[in-house]
Chain A
Amino acid sequence: MMNSSVVITSEICFHCGEDCTEETVHFDDKAFCCLGCKSAYQILEESDLCGYYDLDANPGINLKNTKHRARFDYLEDEEVITRISDFHDTTRISLTLNIPNIHCTSCVWLLENLQKLDSGVLQSGVNFLKKELSLLIDTDKTSLRDVVEQLVTIGYEPEIRLEKLDSKTEKSHQNRSLWLKMGVAGFAFGNIMLFSFPDYLDTTGSGLGGNFHIFFGALNIILALPVLLYSSSDYLKSAFAALSQRGVNLDVPISIGIVALFSRSVYEIVTMTGTGYMDSFTGLIFFLLIGKLVQQKTFNRLSFDRDYRSYLPIAVNVLNENGEEYSVSLDKLQPDQQMQLRNHELVPCDSTLLSDEAFLDYSFITGESEPVTVRNGERVFAGGRLIGSTALMRTEEKVANSYLTKLWNHEAFQNNDKELKLTTFADKISPYFTVAVLGIAFFSGLYWLQTAGMEPALSVFTAVLIIACPCALALSTPFTLGSALNVLSLNGLFVKNHLLIENLSKATSIVFDKTGTLTESEAAEVGFFGDDLSSNEQIWVKSACKNSIHPLSRKVATYLQSSYLHQPKTYKEVPGKGILADVDGAIICLGSETFLSDQSGIKPEFIPESHFSGSTVHLSVNGVYKGFFGIKAGVRNGISDLLQSIKEKFSLYLLSGDNEAQRSEFSNYFGENGSLLFNQKPEEKLDFITQLQESGEQVIMVGDGLNDAGALKKSDFGIALADDVSSFAPACDAILEGSSLQKLHAFIDFSKASMKIIIASFVLSLLYNTIGLGFAITGNLSPLVAAILMPLSSISVMVFTFATTRFFARKGGLAIWK
């Protein structure tokens, strides 16, 4: 935008909206950045689906990087179809696919018009937030495989993971009953209020005349009955369950209030001594259910309890006896099969490498930042990600017996009691609260019994129970934390359960993982140390590097900015050592120190010692030593500021599965109090957390990989860092967007403020209770007072918590609106 005159020609791909830098394909007077985008456009154009381009500008998904397409042979297997579909008979398949690429209105439109592309699709519906596509397919006209392949060509590749095999997509209906209960309560609340209104206006007590009194009373009871039996059933059941286990939760005083309200009202109406409190009763339930709805807010897209089955793909390509490739689902993968993996694919089970050499990125499993070189005949472990060219492997174990699966099912990692221990502040005080309320009710009843007799005593007794019903109290926690949860998610921290915010607020020490958490593998820092390279030399080195698939040479190649490439005349690569190439007559030698002295004849003493915390690649041109490339995993943005600001308040630890290469660099950040531990196995990480907890610390663990899974589960608040929150993350309490890690300090401060807000709203609601008790004890609790006081207290608590959480979030520098 700033210097638009400089940009002369940069055509934008009509399909995906990216600049057409490498090649431009023209078709139909439109520019496309690659053939994939063009063919996607062609398909849509033929089916008259160009409305896709009207809703959003250039909505397509870039297809440049999908040179290899996953194979879907396994989707023809009847058993697989039955297991992944929701419903399946001879002619119909109904299933739900997860499509991560859904990102805009156009996507929804196109996917819901899928029947125009494939007439066998009978129904298609998108759930945007869940990024799901539900399909109903007529198998007489098309096959599931065809539909999925069609989706892939237009850029919407479904993500089908192993877990899909065993679990039918659970349609979440649990919220529906809550909506219904709320509807009933709201309906009764509104109507009863209408019927009670004449009574409130009738201040003289002359009565309404006729039999209206009986009529309205009867209607009120009829309307309130379903509220008691249906809408409030959760509270009554929960209170009953708590009492039968000799415990008291907040639902006990609430249920006492509910029962007292209802029976007192029925009594008054039947004996015609009053109008009852049916409006307060139904209103109370209505507000309580709103609180429950807020509490149940969940993050549709995210899943916090994942296991290895959602990490692995559903199928892998294997070769049959004739060397032909076909795909099988992982549960049918047997030992001693040959499988072919491509760049960035995961190894599903422990195998032996059949190709000469392969690079495997184990950072997710072990925390090592550099890919490991594996040679022919060596073992490859499940969970590694292949980097570089295609590799052939022979499977050794079944998926269920592999290292990854065993690690995942490790006993120590199954720590599920954390959530069961969570209690709200409200639950903690509710025994005292219940006793206090019953005591006040009993003594004031006793007082009235002695002074005025049975009738008023009973009425005061029930009035106290009614007005002390901790409705506002019950709302303060879900509303405060629900609001806090919203604020946190707006800022990139998605917490699994609102009660976990309390754990976050109590933290005393923070443990970080290194690889992928503090560092970012994509943002590798490359630098050249030595003589400046001329532009020709840069071209030569880059040309040589381009021929190698070694991760380090790839990083060097991206670091060097030259647009021309020359094909080397001769090229020799010693795997894991270095490259020797002849480019335009210049002999480029690139690699380790020993490789350089062997190949280019430079004596080892001429190669200066490199003091560099990271990997080094030495370079000589025409036998002259030039210097070395230093490559290290880049530290995430804002990390040093974050660590600076929190190292005073918390004890900081670094737990890394990687080697000590970056120790000195990180000890600067962590200060004197922090301790840095390297070469930690997953079990050791877990033990370390346990030790901290035993010494009385409340631990936050921030990690990203499977090697942190045990520690994440054990810690009081386990945060899994993910650059794409909907992608895979190990089981944890919260998922944090990688770019938001720098806000961690603000998050902790905000959670502390939220805890204070809960206390403050408790005080506020107790204030209402005290005022109400004043009316009740003196025997002046008229239905009108109750009908005003009870909703007022609930609403003011809602407003108070909403406003104060937003205020503190803003004060702490967090975003409060989208």
Chain B
Amino acid sequence: MEVIYMLIGFSLLVALIFLGLFFWAVRSGQFDDQHTPSMRVLFDSKKTSSKKESTNNQKHRDE
């Protein structure tokens, strides 16, 4: 049963790491603005010219 001491030690260590990560996240301002990041998800990172799509967009709107 002595192994439990070690297991609990490890589990606490893992939990503390997560607490540390939470501290880091709060301190770096991730909880300050909870709305804009949800919009950034939609951004494409591709660099190709997107002219074609945008004309489709326009057509769609006209219909």
Contact = CB atoms under 8 A, between A and B. Distances in A.
Contacts of B35: 128-129
A50 B51 contact: yes
A166 interface: no
A29 B55 contact: yes
Contacts of A58: 58, 61
Prevailing SS type, chain B contact patch: helix
Contacts of A54: 44, 50, 53-54, 57
Interface string B36-61: 10011011100101110111011011
A180 interface: yes
Contacts of B42: 55, 105
A50 B50 contact: yes
Contacts, number: 86
Contact of A183 (B23, B54, B57, B61): B23
Contacts of B29: 176
B57 A57 contact: yes
Contacts of A57: 57-58, 60-61
Interface residues of A, number: 40
Given A55-B43, A108-B40, A127 B33 contact: yes
A126 interface: yes
Contacts of B54: 50, 53-54
A277 interface: no
Interface in B16-33: 18-19, 22-23, 26-27, 29, 31-33
Contacts of A187: 15, 18-19, 22
B8 to A, nearest CB: 7
A51 B46 CA distance: 10
Contacts of B61: 12, 17, 57-58
Contact of A127 (B22, B36, B53): B36
B23 A108 contact: no
A212 B33 contact: no
Contact of A51 (B18, B26, B36, B50): B50
A403 to B, nearest CB: 40
Interface in A98-144: 105, 108-109, 112, 126-130
A86 to B, nearest CB: 14
Given A50-B50, A54-B53, A176 B32 contact: yes
Interface residues of B, number: 36
B49 A179 contact: no
A206 B58 CA distance: 76
A109 B36 CA distance: 10
A184 interface: yes
B27 A176 contact: yes
Interface string B1-22: 1101100100010010011001
Contact of B43 (A17, A29, A109, A129): A109
B26 A129 contact: no
Nearest to B16: A187
A175 B32 contact: yes
B24 to A, nearest CB: 11
Interface of B: 1-2, 4-5, 8, 12, 15, 18-19, 22-23, 26-27, 29, 31-33, 35-36, 39-40, 42-44, 47, 49-51, 53-55, 57-58, 60-62
Q: Which 5 A-B pairs have the closest CB atoms?
A: A128-B36, A53-B54, A179-B26, A183-B22, A105-B39
26 contacts: A12-B61, A12-B62, A14-B58, A29-B55, A30-B55, A48-B49, A51-B43, A53-B54, A54-B50, A54-B57, A57-B61, A105-B42, A128-B33, A129-B33, A129-B36, A172-B32, A173-B32, A175-B31, A176-B32, A180-B23, A183-B19, A184-B19, A187-B15, A210-B2, A212-B4, A215-B8
